[in-house]
Amino acid sequence: MTETASSVLGPWSNFYTITGSSAGALTGLMFVVITLVTGVERSKRNRDGISAFSTPTVIHFGAALLVSAILSAPWPSLAYPASLLAIAGILADLYILRVWLITKRFKDYTPDFEDWIFYTILPLAAYSVILAGAIMLNSSPVAPFALAAAALLLIFIGIRNAWDVVTYIAIERTPSP
């Protein structure tokens, strides 16, 4: 059964307005946080920590914003947002595999199990759900729920990871008296 884009995505407009706005605001907040801790981080020459921990957090917020924007646009057909989301899901999965490789070779910090879950496993799952939701968007009534859950998961991952980075820098990297 093929439905129109407005009949499938229309009821989700408030949800995507809220998630998109939240993701945009949290992305801006990450820029403020990184600016405030720049003096601490600048002393390190190794950029792998930023690539493995800070940048993915901004990417997750940006991805939630992108999903929200794509699904809020007035598409004439579900094929357009489905195609864009599928491409985004594939590229994001590849990006998370790159983050995993960077994290694996990181020397200044040994990630614990919780780090692996929140910096690689859950984001990989969220982006894979975006890909699956995109593939099923035109044929399954579950697809909009899957896409919404993935966008929300990315926001929660981003919030948790932002908190993790900030507390790590504030506690572990601050010189002791």
Most confident of 51-60, 96-105, 127-136, 164-173: 127-136
In a domain, 121, yes or no: yes
Domain contains 68: yes
- Our count of domains for the chain comes to 1
Neighbours of 81 (CB within 10 A): 23
Determine, yes or no, domain membership for 75: yes
Look at the pTM and tell me if it is higher than 0.95: no
Q: Per the domain annotation, does 177 fall within a domain?
A: no
Q: What is the pLDDT of residue 129?
A: 97
Is 130 inside any structural domain? yes
Contacts of 139 (CB under 8 A, 6+ apart): 1, 2
User: Domain residues for 105?
Assistant: 5-38+45-172
Of residues 118, 2, 142, the one with CA closest to residue 57: 118
In a domain, 72, yes or no: yes
Query: Would 11 be classed as within a structural domain?
Result: yes
Give percent of the chain with pLDDT exceeding 90.
29
Whether 27 is in a domain gets the answer yes
